[in-house]
């Protein structure tokens, strides 16, 4: 069910309290990557264009409920101001008298960025007092923080219960893309899953099993599946205590007629730093070597399937793509997903870095900004930050 959208209400002369996910990486006191800021600009711009004043709230890092200058939002305010081409005011608090004074002084077109919500110990426990203080900073609430929607915090859920609440454009875009995968995927639907650990993504694998035609696996997660199928994986990253679960997954896939594809050739080395790496079939891995990437035969087979699909979801690198020698599998899959005629969705922080490294971001149907949130959505869980917004 789509949520009540910010586009459908009159905001002229009102103060909109907007929860954004500006949890960006910082380097030397500046924003190192502004992707998340850019993602919410359309919502902010829409509100300003329609005559609202905008009060922004975000978390940044993990300051654990105490003010910590290392996690101040000041660098974010500077970058946002450059992007908007107008001043962005800041206050030294999340809520309380100083914030209230600043918020009530705003005129239409003004922008105020509150200090890091996680400077308040009440944020992560959804404290009603903090929610009430936040609610005094706006006439209405807009949630555009898809990346924080899986957390029931004071600034995502508490305040939404106290003000008329609306979905921002980014939240809507994410929900539309991910719900299309879960509820209306054109067949054939193929999910490509990799990354470090199978345990992180087991619930997603299981939930997608009822929807996809094939699962193509790579990364550390494929190693556990290889173990489950009786292969020796040497010193590869794997989770032996998950082998039973992995076997059940394979059985359940077979019952449903879902094809699970695992690597048939891999790139191995003694360690990440060793100067030699070789491509071998999966059944010839020496005990002192580890799998760090999928091999070219596997890439080619995965790409053929991706090319004939109508819907593709990709999460998790196929190997240790941060090292050039082990990047070919991941970059190869990135290119195939980009070339696909299918509707394509990519999620996960490291997967997005791989998409950027391959230079193909503009050829992806939807790039999800919310790593944890998009995975929880695809597990079939209700995200509290979305659930609290009234239906359209």
**Which residues are tagged catalytic?**
36, 197, 349, 372
CA angle 10, 144, 339 (to 5 degrees): 120
Q: Which of 229, 220, 224, 254 is nearest to 241 (CA)?
A: 224
Q: Which of 146, 177, 173 is nearest to 373 (CA)?
A: 146
Among 183-191, 253-261, 309-317, 333-341, the segment contacting ligand ADP (CB under 6 A): 309-317
- Residue of 292, 302, 313, 343 that binds ligand ADP (CB under 6 A): 292
CA angle 160, 162, 167 (to 5 degrees): 30
Which of the choices Mg ion, ligand ADP, none does residue 320 contact, using the CB cut-off of 5 to 8 A by kind?
Answer: ligand ADP
Query: Under rule CB under 6 A, how many of the chain's residues touch ligand ADP?
Result: 20
Residues 6+ apart with CB under 8 A from 159: 17, 19, 131, 134, 135, 141
What character string, x for contact with ligand ADP (CB under 6 A) and - otherwise, covers 190-229? ----xxx---x------------------xx---------
- Residue of 147, 316, 332, 370 that binds ligand ADP (CB under 6 A): 316
- Interacting positions 328-387 with Mg ion (CB under 5 A): 349-350
Euclidean distance between the first and the last CA atom of the chain, given in angstroms as a whole number: 8
Is the CB of residue 57 less than 8 Å from the CB of residue 114?
yes
350 touches ligand ADP (CB under 6 A): yes
Residues 6+ apart with CB under 8 A from 300: none
DSSP code of residue 155: I
357 touches ligand ADP (CB under 6 A): no
Q: How far is the CB of 51 from ligand ADP (least distance, A)?
A: 39
What character string, x for contact with ligand ADP (CB under 6 A) and - otherwise, covers 170-189? --------------------
Between β-strands 343-347 and 111-113, what pairing exists: parallel, antiparallel or unpaired? unpaired
364 touches ligand ADP (CB under 6 A): no
Residues that bind Mg ion (CB under 5 A): 349-350
Residues that bind ligand ADP (CB under 6 A): 194-196, 200, 219-220, 237, 291-292, 315-317, 319-320, 322, 348-351, 371
């Amino acid at each position: 069910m789509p949520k009540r959208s910010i586009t459908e209400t009159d905001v002229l002369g009102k103060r909109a309290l907007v929860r954004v996910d500006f949890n960006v990486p910082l380097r030397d006191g500046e924003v190192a990557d502004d992707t998340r800021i850019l993602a919410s600009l359309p919502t902010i711009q829409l509100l300003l264009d329609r005559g609202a004043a905008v009060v922004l709230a975000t978390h940044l890092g993990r300051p654990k409920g105490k003010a910590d200058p290392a996690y101040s939002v000041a660098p974010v305010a500077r970058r946002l101001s450059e992007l908007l081409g107008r001043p962005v005011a800041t206050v030294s608090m999340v809520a309380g008298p100083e914030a209230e004074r600043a918020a009530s002084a705003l005129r239409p077109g003004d922008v105020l960025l509150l200090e890091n919500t996680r400077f308040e110990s009440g944020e992560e426990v959804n404290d009603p007092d903090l929610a009430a203080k936040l609610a005094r900073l706006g006439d209405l609430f807009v949630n555009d923080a898809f990346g924080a929607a899986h957390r029931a915090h004071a600034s995502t859920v508490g305040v939404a219960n106290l003000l008329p609440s609306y979905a921002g454009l980014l939240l809507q875009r994410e929900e539309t893309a991910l719900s299309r995968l879960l509820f209306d995927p054109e067949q054939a639907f193929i999910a490509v899953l990799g990354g470090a650990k199978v345990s992180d993504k087991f619930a997603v694998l299981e939930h997608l099993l009822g929807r996809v035609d094939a699962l193509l696996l790579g990364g550390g997660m494929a190693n556990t599946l290889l173990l489950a199928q009786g292969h020796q994986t040497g010193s590869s990253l794997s989770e032996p205590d998950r082998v039973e679960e992995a076997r059940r997954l394979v059985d359940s896939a077979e019952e449903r007629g879902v094809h699970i594809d695992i690597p048939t050739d891999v790139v191995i080395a003694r360690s990440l730093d060793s100067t030699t790496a070789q491509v071998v079939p999966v059944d010839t891995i020496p005990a002192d070597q580890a799998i760090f990437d999928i091999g070219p035969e596997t890439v080619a087979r995965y790409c053929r399937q991706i090319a004939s699909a109508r819907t593709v979801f990709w999460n998790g690198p196929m190997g240790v793509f941060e090292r050039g020698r082990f990047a070919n599998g991941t970059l190869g899959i990135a290119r195939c997903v980009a070339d696909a005629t299918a509707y394509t969705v990519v999620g996960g922080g490291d997967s997005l870095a791989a998409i950027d490294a391959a230079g193909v971001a503009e050829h992806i149907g939807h790039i999800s900004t919310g790593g944890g949130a998009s995975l929880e959505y695809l597990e079939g869980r209700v995200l509290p930050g979305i659930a609290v917004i009234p239906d359209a």
